[in-house]
Structure 1
Amino acid sequence: MTATDPQVPDATVSLANGARMPLLGFGTWQIKGDDAVRATSAALEAGYRHLDTATVYGNEGEVGRALSESGVARDDVFLTTKCPPDRAGRELATLRESLDLLQTDHVDLWLIHWSAGGSENVDLWRAFVEAREAGLAREIGVSNFDTSLLDEVTKATEVRPAVNQIEWSPLLFDAETLAEHRARDVVLEGYSALRGGTLDAPTIGEIAERVGRTPAQVIIRWHLQHGVVVIPKSVNPERIRSNADVGGFTLTDEDMAAIDALGRS
């Protein structure tokens, strides 16, 4: 490590089937083509060891290419993809297509991308359980589910989602939602952490100035200290590195409380 290398946090969380998921990941939503290859390569070079993609992102091939060319061992990277619910009945075929594009024989986490509605969620979830049992996905979970849907699929199959990936930021913070996930032993993973005006919140800016960090670093650190998985995205190599450089400082209890309060303002 050199003085200019980001201090990437190594914090992980244990999932339902025993995998360890890094709390910091790299998101790839809306990043396409060569940009996706370059951004993913930059993330791996910066030290990210958790990549998040999805069938509907249309970039699994680029993410897979970047990973395969990175020189980073596949086993050292936690890889997530997602299946849209309109692939009901073709779930395993969809996953195998994803695996081909990602150039791997398994993903570490496979998510239902959003709720299908009605009884289809349970049918989808049964196929996800089958994929886990077949070794195609080490862990399985959901995205954009509320707690009633988490309970529905768990009750029907006796297999709980390991993760629920939802929109999450200081402006959306809700202690009850976090507590409900913890009560169910479902890891909360947040997306769009840096969107929606969060970066411009005066409270964030004041804390960032005081600790000598960027507002984005403060927001990412806030997620980590709550034990919430966060997947910032960027195509800018310097910003990718900066967003990873959050292992060298901590927020005080007072800072955390002040940021939490943004969700109630």
Structure 2
Amino acid sequence: MVASKSIKLNTGVEMPTLGLGTWRSKPGEVEHAVEFALKNGYRSIDTASGYENENEVGQGIKKSGVPREEIFLTTKLNNPDMGHPEKALEYSLTQLDTPYLDLWLMHWPAPMTKEGGADKSIDWLDTWHEMERLYKAHPNKIKAIGVSNFSVEYLNRLLPNCEIVPATNQIELHPSCPQQEVIDFCVSKGIAVTGYSPLGSDGAPLLKNPVVVKMAEKYGVKPGTILISMHANRPNVNVLPKSVTNERILENAKIIDMDYADVIELNQIAKEAPFRACHPSWAGWGNLGFTESV
């Protein structure tokens, strides 16, 4: 396989294969990470209103000096804001100090109250319909809409009841959480897949997994390069490694070509060592169509 540099969304737009993730980045670190990443070749930045760092992301973009039109910028509608997406959209645009979003995602199919409980007065499908309305009404503000953390179960409810097929589905994706069923389903429906936590997130043992180490030795690279590159060697998949340190940001950008058989072997790790980094207690995991062990 030849690693891709971009994937084409169902809108016809090219989205970079590699992006900088900002989930769990500490306040005060995000601005520099975004600035440094953009100055060193990154052209896709991912954030979310729920991360509470949109303002820093916007400052990092400004300080980088990279023209806004060269950057693919993604943010997400927060769960407590699903009853008023238009207000939330304007807030994100203001925080990011940008006139438009390249991609706006529904963060979870899980409306919540500001106190953190489930908001049963809101149907997430109604929120999607409002996102569709805003997308059609404000093409100068929203270039594409998509979803995040959607299982096949939730996509099966969405697709027969939507006017606009999501451009992407952003999901946790690494060898201990391969979610192949979701990927296959999305590809069959023309939905690109974006993988977050490709290294398994903080504390995950993937960097020392013997299969990953074996692959790193085969290709003469570090284990992290294998875990990130495997997604760039899959059709319709892109990836969001996260870091706030200069060395790691540069290291994460070293995408290599891989034999597809090696990608398949890496995904077998989940059979022996399943792991999920994003397991929110508030979600009622089973109610979102996922299982704990993946």
Distance 1:260 1:148 in 2: 22
Distance 1:256 1:127 in 2: 38
Distance 1:38 1:10, change over 3 A: farther
Cα distance, 1:146 vs structure 2: 1.1
What is residue 245 of structure 1 aligned with on the other side? 254
Match of 2:91 among 97, 100, 106: 97
The answer on whether the counterparts of 1:153 and 1:159 sit within 8 Å (CA) in structure 2 is no
Structure-2-length-normalised TM-score: 0.82
The answer on whether the counterparts of 1:99 and 1:105 sit within 8 Å (CA) in structure 2 is yes
Match of 2:264 among 252, 257, 265: 257
Moved over 6 A (4+): none
What is residue 197 of structure 2 aligned with on the other side? 192
Distance 1:193 1:127 in 2: 31
Q: Secondary structure at the match of 2:143?
A: strand
Q: Which moved more, 1:124-133 or 1:252-261?
A: 252-261
What is residue 211 of structure 1 aligned with on the other side? 219
Cα distance, 1:197 vs structure 2: 2.1
Work out whether 1:169 is the aligned partner of 2:174. Answer: yes
Distance 1:174 1:126, change over 3 A: closer
Distance 1:121 1:22 in 2: 28
Cα distance, 1:205 vs structure 2: 0.7
Work out whether 1:47 is the aligned partner of 2:41. Answer: yes
Distance 1:96 1:151 in 2: 30
- Tell me the percent identity: 35
Q: Which amino acid aligns with 2:41?
A: G
Structure-1-length-normalised TM-score: 0.91
Distance 1:125 1:253 in 2: 35
What is residue 3 of structure 1 aligned with on the other side? none
What is residue 120 of structure 1 aligned with on the other side? 123
Work out whether 1:224 is the aligned partner of 2:227. Answer: no
Work out whether 1:202 is the aligned partner of 2:210. Answer: yes
Distance 2:100 2:160 in 1: 26
Cα distance, 1:254 vs structure 2: 3.4
Q: Which amino acid aligns with 2:103?
A: L
Distance 2:270 2:234 in 1: 14
Distance 1:174 1:32 in 2: 28
Distance 1:218 1:12 in 2: 18
Q: Which amino acid aligns with 1:262?
A: I
Q: Secondary structure at the match of 1:172?
A: coil
Cα distance, 1:85 vs structure 2: 2.5
The answer on whether the counterparts of 2:33 and 2:243 sit within 8 Å (CA) in structure 1 is yes
Work out whether 1:154 is the aligned partner of 2:159. Answer: yes
Q: Which amino acid aligns with 1:128?
A: M
Cα distance, 1:68 vs structure 2: 1.2
Distance 1:57 1:47 in 2: 24
The answer on whether the counterparts of 1:145 and 1:164 sit within 8 Å (CA) in structure 2 is yes
Distance 1:210 1:177 in 2: 29
Q: For residues 92-124 of structure 1, give each alpha carbon's deviation from its aligned partner in whole angstroms, at most 9, with x where no partner exists.
A: 111111111111111011111111267611111
Q: Secondary structure at the match of 2:109?
A: coil
Distance 1:180 1:10 in 2: 20
What is residue 28 of structure 2 aligned with on the other side? 34
Q: For residues 218-253 of structure 1, give each alpha carbon's deviation from its aligned partner in whole angstroms, at most 9, with x where no partner exists.
A: 11110110132110011110010010121xx31123
Structure 1 unaligned segments of length 5 or more: list them.
Answer: 1-8
Match of 1:235 among 223, 230, 244: 244
Cα distance, 1:10 vs structure 2: 6.4
The answer on whether the counterparts of 1:25 and 1:230 sit within 8 Å (CA) in structure 2 is yes
Q: For residues 128-187 of structure 1, give each alpha carbon's deviation from its aligned partner in whole angstroms, at most 9, with x where no partner exists.
A: 112211122111011111122223222222221111111110111243332111111111
Distance 2:4 2:192 in 1: 17
How many positions carry a matched residue from both structures? 255
Distance 1:143 1:257 in 2: 24
